[in-house]
Amino acid sequence: MPDRRIGVVGTLVWDTIWHPLQGEVEPREQWGGIAYSLSALAAVCPPGWQICPLVKIGEDLAQEARRFFASLRNIASLADLRIVSQPSNRVELRYWDSAERTERLSGGVAPWRADELLPLVTDLDAIFINFISGFELSRSTVAQLRRHTSVPLYADLHSLFLGPPGVGAREPRRLEDWRDWFGCFDFVQLNEAEMALTGFADAIEPGSLDLDPGPVAVLITRGCEGARVFRRRSFTSLSATLLSRQGAGGDGFVPLDVPLPHASIDGDPTGCGDVWGSVVFAALLEGRPLEEAIDRGHRAAAAKIRTASIENLAGAVMAALGAPR
């Protein structure tokens, strides 16, 4: 059977990380952003699948980016890596405790236009989107993508909840049109703080949530509390042999809590959510049940906390989860 292909949309970032609680007196500089998702996917890519990075990078870091991508397993091709004239995204992360931080963005590549992106997704079997900068795709482009393809779409909404860059740190902001964003994806990921910046919780508690069409699962990461998922009643797994859009309206959402399989871990949490989401989606594409996929995401995120260096991340995830079955 020909290889299946998962497209990965996101932004490659050069990170400067200040994490004094980890005993670092100098900042650590390395690749970040979509590098975390790609490294984890390279480690757990299901048999018969290949990864297609749909990433823009500035000319200033193009050579270094190519070397990084070439170091990863299971990459189908770098043909869709776009070199652009804008300066590459650079982010300074300053932690004030073990998990909370401020984020300052400089530079920034242009978003994908629909006429650029849609021709690249025609032969894909699944798409993973991580809003690293928050500017990768406009809502209009996402809506066109949803109409253009029926393959499973997973989105970590992440920096859609951050205001535009400026002189200071990016500030959290509400996602007022969250229903429209949610409605474009089969799987939506966000954390508890981001969840509070939508109306999802207010809508689902009294049973007034109307997302038809919409996601089959909304996945909420909760740090040391694990994850809470709101899934459609009809959804438990996504068969890797039947990859058609699973969005099912009218059957409501039910909660599923998946605790961590381990005690809380000290370390650098940068990129944990990026690793978690890519591992969960890979497990779903492999045909694993939803709860098992989330458990694998938990264990991969723990491996990331223990691993500060991006160069060692894929190996750490493989060690934590073992080779795909």
> With pLDDT > 70 as the criterion, what percentage of the chain qualifies?
88
Residue type, 43: A
Instruction: Please report where in the chains the tokens 């299901």 appear, as a residue.
Output: 46
67-73 contacts, C-beta under 8 A, 24 or more apart: 68/12, 68/31, 68/35, 69/38, 71/311, 72/38, 72/39, 72/42, 72/314, 73/42, 73/43, 73/45, 73/314
- What are 16-30's pLDDT values in tens digits? 988 766 666 678 899
pLDDT over 70 at 249, yes or no: no
For residue 27, the 8-state DSSP code is -
pLDDT over 80 at 100, yes or no: no
**Alpha-carbon gap, residue 95 to 47, rounded angstroms:** 38
Q: At what angle do helices 272-285 and 34-44 cross, to 10 degrees?
A: 40
Query: What is the model's pTM?
Result: 0.92
pLDDT over 60 at 118, yes or no: yes
Question: For strand 217-221 and strand 227-232, is the pairing parallel, antiparallel, or unpaired?
Answer: antiparallel
- What are 143-185's pLDDT values in tens digits? 999 999 999 999 999 999 999 887 678 899 999 899 899 999 9
Instruction: Please report where in the chains the tokens 């109307």 appear, as a residue.
Output: 210
Confidence class of residue 248 from pLDDT cuts 50, 70 and 90?
very low
Mean pLDDT, rounded, for 72-83? 90
Mean pLDDT, rounded, for 2-15? 92
Q: What is the pLDDT of residue 240?
A: 42
Residue with the bigger pLDDT between 49 and 263: it is 49
Mean pLDDT, rounded, for 66-72? 93
Q: At what angle do helices 313-321 and 272-285 cross, to 10 degrees?
A: 50
**Alpha-carbon gap, residue 238 to 323, rounded angstroms:** 20
Q: What is the pLDDT of residue 325?
A: 46
DSSP characters over 81-93: PEEESSPPEEEEE
Q: How many domains does the chain have?
A: 1
Q: What is the mean pLDDT of the chain?
A: 88
Residue 23 sits in which domain range? 4-321
Q: 128: domain CATH number? A: 3.40.1190.20
